[in-house]
A and B are shown apart, each in its own frame.
Chain A
Amino acid sequence: MPTLEIRDLFVALAATPDKPIVKGLNLTIRTGEVHAIMGPNGTGKSTLSKAIAGHPDYVITSGDVLLGGKSILEMEADERARAGLFLAFQYPSEIPGVSIANFLRAAVQARLAEGEEIDATAYYKRLYSKMDLLKIDRKFTSRSVNEGFSGGEKKRCEILQMAMLEPTFSLMDETDSGLDIDALRIVAEGVNLMRGEKLGVLLITHYQRLLDYIVPDFVHVMYDGRIVKSGDKTLALELEAKGYDWVKQELALSASAAVATA
């Protein structure tokens, strides 16, 4: 079974490589599993997911990310995507002038062997069926990518792309934010349909609400650039009840305990 292994990862902004944002993060995701990461604002969740996807603003200063046992650090962003990684953006870009249909077509075409041409009829059939599933109006195919989309439409469009590209591992950065309750249900259903032996998911979220719909196998708390606590789905409930101060206090306690035993 393929794995995505994040090993002792340090990530900094390319402009300030000596100031790590992600500070020694370890996490292994297997296909078939859904992991949720929760953590306060500014703790490095988006930085982690963008660095894994190969965003040029970030550098991995040490550690490794292995996809199916092979390091992806030398790969360009597009190669990583074709290797099976998908990033559902917290803030998806608007691309005026590039239609959803042409954009997804180029992305599907990019996964075909050299010289192989996309079957346009089959492509549209598939695209429409995924759109219907996510209750996205078919008229959206001719609209420019994310341009003038509402927050919820953007997020649904991210899921549409994920459904079309069938990644092995999907990093979903706050896909629930900006969704009303109906949209949340639709998006969650979409993800649950894709869920299975062929897909591993890393779900970044602030809200327990999402985890009622997409029930995670593991929940991790990220704080100050690393994972400080892991558990099952009950951890999210506990977090919701007690807040991050609880985690901070635990951390302080264990730190002072460490000092005491030293």
Chain B
Amino acid sequence: MSAPALSTTPAEGFTSTRFAQHLSQRAYLPAWWLEAKKAAWNQFNALPLPSRTDENWRFSDLKGLDLSGFTVPEDHSQKIPNHSGFAQAAEIVFSNRQVVARSHVSAELSSKGVIFAPLDEALRQHGDLVRTYFQKHPANLGSAKFVALNTALTVAGGFLYVPADVEVDLPFVIQHTLTGNNVSVFPHTIVVLGPRAKATVVEFFVSGGSSSVTASTLARSAPAAERQLVSGVNDLHAAEGAQLTYVGAQRWSRETLAFQINSIAVERDARVLSLNLHLGGRQSRHESHSRLLGPGAHSEMLSLTVADGDREFDQRTLQTHISPHTTSNLLYKNALLDTAKTIFSGLIIVEPDAQKTDAYQKNRNLMLSDTAEAHSLPGLEIQANDVKCSHGSTSARIDAEQEFYLQARGINPTEARRLLVSAFFEEVLNKLENEDLHASLTALIADQFKK
């Protein structure tokens, strides 16, 4: 193992005393869980921070990965911006680490065996179920250290279980809000769809209070922007023939260092659509790993990013085709403004047995500034001989004639850009069946342009 680029001594917030306290407060949880946490804590401390030579961190700002000074918050804030505003099956709202609002699933769904609960409650009431799926297929894209930190310290997170043949049309919503300076949060959400089940899960990640900012308040309150750390993990499972739609939308504060690690497991004839919307943070790393486990499995991996200011968005993806006759389609779109930086690094692996794989990967960047930087590292690793795979990336400058046309109709430059970025994103948003959800994401994106 190479020497860590930065100090690995736990900062004052993540000391062993603090961790011991964290464990002792959770003695009521299953023993396997506490053991997993201990092991993760040790792993977190043993693993170095990413180094320059690590291919998984190429182009990333390693100096930005500074964990010093963060604490684990105990108090929650009441200032919760509401993001859903659409009809939902049920909702859980976390502020910092605690549940501050919750609506339960209907009696009908609950009688069919649907479980939707905060992780803590799920561990107590459905421990074995959680154990079966917790990190069953860990993503393997370079963030093991931060995933370990998540396991060690996670409290907030949702657990959704939809049994075989149950279809739920309305989305399940989980909201995470983080408030305070030098605070951290470690959301872990597990979604399990049984055979032929159908569900939609929406997760919002936002900084609360004054720092849940629009660009204008951001500009005004820039020096006071709260420094925050997030390391979130998802385990998404779709059993045979299941259909899962997962939407994650983040709008962290100006000074947030965020990691979000997605694992997607798709079994025979199942279909998972994941769409991640990235708007905030100072440095935001997102990893997504799909595994196509059974014939007929499909993973649709979508992402939209508005990269403005001097933010860095670091996106790493892996599409692993394990079974024959599996398909995957990745489309990551970034709109870059100001001096922002995006990194897209994607790999398709087709394992020897995965004949007749059909896999696509595309990263498209819309440049709205000459000083923004988009890096794209697409890759293929094909071990089967009868497959259809393609990958590619494009970067295009925003069309000056289109911008002028909009302005010549009285639309101000910011709004003109918002319209052009929305147009660029439409192809991805149109893949959402739920129109309320589509509208809600469009509104979040529009907010990002309000200056």
Contacts and interface: CB of A to CB of B under 8 A. Distances in A.
Interface of A: 53-56, 76-78, 81-82, 86-87, 89, 92-98, 102-104, 106-107, 110-111, 144-145, 161, 165
Interface of B: 399-402, 404-413, 415-416, 419-420, 422-424, 426-427
A103 B406 contact: yes
A81 B408 contact: yes
Contacts of A95: 402, 405-406, 419-420, 423
A97 B406 contact: no
A77 B422 contact: no
A56 B402 CA distance: 12
Contact of A111 (B400, B401, B410, B422): B410
B334 to A, nearest CB: 16
Given A96-B423, A102-B419, A54 B410 contact: no
Given A93-B399, A93-B401, A98-B420, A54 B411 contact: no
Contacts of A53: 408
Given A98-B422, A98-B423, A102-B419, A78 B411 contact: yes
Contacts of B410: 78, 81-82, 107, 110-111, 165
B408 A54 contact: yes
Tell me if B's interface is mostly helix, strand, loop or mixed.
Answer: helix
Contacts of B423: 95-98, 144
Kindly list the 3 A-B residue pairs having the minimum CB-CB distance in the complex, ordered from nearest.
Answer: A97-B423, A81-B410, A93-B405
Nearest to A93: B405
6 contacts: A77-B407, A77-B408, A81-B408, A89-B408, A92-B405, A106-B419
Contacts of B404: 55-56, 77, 93
A55 B427 CA distance: 29
A172 to B, nearest CB: 13
B400 A56 contact: yes
A96 B422 CA distance: 10
A108 to B, nearest CB: 9
A110 B405 contact: no
B412 A78 contact: yes
Nearest to B416: A78
* Max chain A Cβ within 10 angstroms of own Cβ: one of B401, B404, B406, B409: B409
Nearest to A161: B409
A99 to B, nearest CB: 9
A50 to B, nearest CB: 9
A98 to B, nearest CB: 5
Given A54-B407, A103-B419, 5 more contacts: A89-B408, A95-B402, A96-B423, A106-B415, A110-B412
A82 B404 CA distance: 14
A136 B360 CA distance: 40
A94 B70 CA distance: 50
Contacts of A94: 402
Contact of B422 (A82, A97, A107): A97
Tell me if A's interface is mostly helix, strand, loop or mixed.
Answer: mixed
A106 B406 CA distance: 9
A87 B406 contact: no
A56 B420 CA distance: 18
A111 B403 CA distance: 18
B423 to A, nearest CB: 3
A76 B415 CA distance: 14
Given A97-B423, A102-B419, A107 B409 contact: yes
Nearest to B410: A81
Contacts of B400: 56
Contacts of B406: 95, 103, 106
Nearest to A77: B407
Nearest to B401: A93
Nearest to A87: B408
A76 B407 contact: yes
A102 to B, nearest CB: 7
Nearest to B399: A93
B401 A165 contact: no
A219 B407 CA distance: 29
Given A56-B400, A93-B401, A96-B423, A106 B407 contact: no
Nearest to B430: A97
Contacts of A110: 409-412, 415
* Max chain B Cβ within 10 angstroms of own Cβ: one of A95, A107, A144, A165: A95
A102 B409 CA distance: 13
Contacts of B422: 97-98
B370 to A, nearest CB: 14
Nearest to B426: A97
Given A98-B423, A102-B419, A89 B405 contact: yes
A204 to B, nearest CB: 15
A92 B404 CA distance: 11
Contact of B413 (A78, A89, A161): A78
A81 B409 contact: yes
Contact of B402 (A82, A93, A111): A93
Contacts of B419: 95, 98, 102-103, 106
B340 to A, nearest CB: 21
A255 to B, nearest CB: 37
Nearest to A89: B405
A82 B401 CA distance: 19
A165 B408 contact: no
Nearest to A97: B423
Contacts of A76: 407, 413
B422 to A, nearest CB: 7
A94 B405 CA distance: 9
Contacts of A96: 423
